[in-house]
Amino acid sequence: GNVFTYEDVVQNKKMTKADGIMSAEGILDNPALFLPRLGSNDDDDTAKSTNITIADPSPLGNNTQGSNKSEDVKLKRKLLKKLRDIQTIEDKIQSSGDTSINNEQKVKLSTKAELTKELELIVAKEQGGATESEVESPEKREMTARTKQISLRKLYNGANDKLSLANEYLSLAKMYPTMIRTVVFHVRRMCKDLLNQYQLMEECVASKSIDQVESVVAKCIKYRADPGSFMFDTQMAAREKEA
């Protein structure tokens, strides 16, 4: 408990002699909480010259393997859209029950496993030209996993920018679809201060797709870059205060 900074991690580990430290609430607000374990950002030259190995493909930087095939890219987008539609249906069932969806929506739900498998195949191909049989075999898929190098400084630059972290998370959510309420929850926690500052919290919470959440984050980026483009809504502020 109460692990909110990396200093908390170090002190807890020292005090408890534990093999590892976990964070619950703290890492929701700061997904990069454990980044300092890879090295310090105090020395500019060291941070620039120190490279860290990460997975490839990754939302950090450009991926030059596999994903440049236009047909796979188009198919991946279509699959992700279909899976987002299915997620919307599942959310509706959870909130209103099984009887709240029609036959067409039931048919869409039945295709989830097939669509997910097809998406996994494309992702595996991006990671190193895997075949369908390799997708079905975790051991073989692990053998084809690719990595790339990124400077520690670049990691810190992203970690110090909550909007950058949010966009990185959204990219991962598109690659590995999850429930939209989970996506909204994590972006809301990461960008809480900026969402409140620009009166976008309500819009973020109401988002029904990753694209809508991305649009909210994009507005934050725009307002931060050009403060004059943001107009404070006094009526909205009054409604929020009353609520």
31-75 confidence digits (pLDDT tens): 999 999 888 887 777 767 788 888 776 655 544 444 345 677 778
86 pLDDT more than 60: yes
Per-residue burial over 29-50, b if 16 or more Cβ lie within 10 Å, else e, is ebbbbbbbeebebeeeeebeeb
Name the pLDDT band for 161 (thresholds 50, 70, 90): very high
188 pLDDT more than 90: yes
- Calculate the average pLDDT of the chain: 84
The stretch 149-160 carries a mean pLDDT of 87
The stretch 194-206 carries a mean pLDDT of 95
DSSP for 42-66 reads SSHHHHHH-EEEEEES-SSS---SS
Instruction: Specify the range with the lowest mean pLDDT, choosing from 138-142, 171-175, 203-207.
Output: 138-142
Sign of the torsion angle spanned by Cα atoms 86, 92, 94, 96: negative
Q: What is the pLDDT of residue 63?
A: 43
**Please, is 21 exposed, middle or buried when counting C-beta atoms within 10 Å of its C-beta (0-12, 13-18, 19+)?**
middle
Asked if residues 81 and 108 have their Cβ atoms less than 8 Å apart, the reply is no
Name the pLDDT band for 195 (thresholds 50, 70, 90): very high
Which amino acid would we find at residue 76?
A: K
CA distance 57 to 135: 16
Q: What is the pLDDT of residue 137?
A: 47
Q: What is the pLDDT of residue 144?
A: 53
* Range among 50-54, 115-119, 228-232 rated most confident: 228-232
Q: What is the pLDDT of residue 129?
A: 53
Report CA-CA distances (Å) from 227 to 219, 224, 230: 11, 6, 6
Task: Categorise residue 229: left if φ over 0, alpha if ψ from -120 to 50, beta otherwise.
Answer: alpha
